[in-house]
Amino acid sequence: MTFHKRFQVPISKEEAEKRFIRRMYNLIFEAFYKTLDGSLQKDIKFNVATAYGHSFNSTYSLEHQLKNKTLVDLLHAVEIIYELVDSKQQMELEKKIDALFRFSEMDPGFRWEEGKFFQTGAESLDDALINETLRWLSDEKYSTVLEPYSKGLMHFLEADKKPKVLADVITDMHEALEAMTNIVIGPKNKRSLSGNRDSFIKKLNVSDKYKKLLSVYAEFTNTFRHAEDPEKPRPKITKTEVESLIYVTGIFLRLGIESQRTSPEPEGP
């Protein structure tokens, strides 16, 4: 139990976030980053600048690049550092990240999972439909699915500060499931999610009622894939609604992965 809880000291969400950010600077961008050799530090600064869409200037310190950045931006920087260091350094960085969560006065609303930060929701659903799905999607054959799916989870993490990105989450989920349908059906039959519906459901070996569910999913997500039409505005959505869509996407992705794992091997000549 943290000190403030033991002494029943009230801390606002805003103050808890500020403290979390300060500890990130202390533990990661100071205590950890500055132990790395110069060439690695330069690589990190270059990759952070590129991720942020900034022009790279080797004379700028990492602290300068991170100045006034949001918590989500800083989490992104930590992921970049983790990707560039070796396995021993990754273990040390994970210890720093664990300390961040231990010190936090409030649930930060996200977790660290296999080198990435993800926003937390219902814990049991997260484990079954997000964590396990991410593990299965790590297979190279699902790279076209993993990219939009991971991007959607990151957009969802930003939604508290940038509510407009909720629409991007829906688009990302649509693209992830569309990519999965094309893998399951085969590249020769590459089509849109709506066009793949019947063939995809047939491959999943589930009842035809799933066709209706997938049709509604495709119809809804399609409304967010193009620029908003003033005459046909997009439906208003809540964060809870988008979270539920992520879980529905996870169900279909898991079914798609399972269909690949249980499909009989093609017969030889």
Coil, helix or strand for 110? strand
- Write out the two tokens for 35: 């132990």
What are 83-131's pLDDT values in tens digits?
Answer: 999 999 999 999 999 999 999 888 787 888 888 888 675 454 455 567 7
Q: Looking at the predicted structure, is the pLDDT value of residue 27 above 90?
A: yes
What are 149-165's pLDDT values in tens digits?
Answer: 988 988 887 887 788 88
Burial class (CB in 10 A: 0-12, 13-18, 19+), 261: exposed
What are 193-228's pLDDT values in tens digits?
Answer: 888 888 888 888 888 888 888 889 988 898 887 665
pTM of the predicted protein model? 0.55
Contact 259, 184 (CB under 8 A): yes
Split at pLDDT 50, 70, 90, the class of 65 is very high
| 114 closest CA partner among 141, 138, 140 | 138
- Residue 194 CA to residue 246 CA, distance in Å, equals 18
Split at pLDDT 50, 70, 90, the class of 265 is very low
| 66 closest CA partner among 102, 30, 109 | 30
Average pLDDT of the segment spanning 66-70: 91
- Write out the two tokens for 174: 């649509």
* Residue 101: predicted pLDDT: 92
For 157-169, the DSSP string reads: HHTTT-GGGHHHH
- Write out the two tokens for 153: 């989870």
- Residue 163 CA to residue 242 CA, distance in Å, equals 11
Return the number of other C-beta atoms located less than 10 Å from residue 263's C-beta.
Answer: 11
* Residue 209: predicted pLDDT: 85
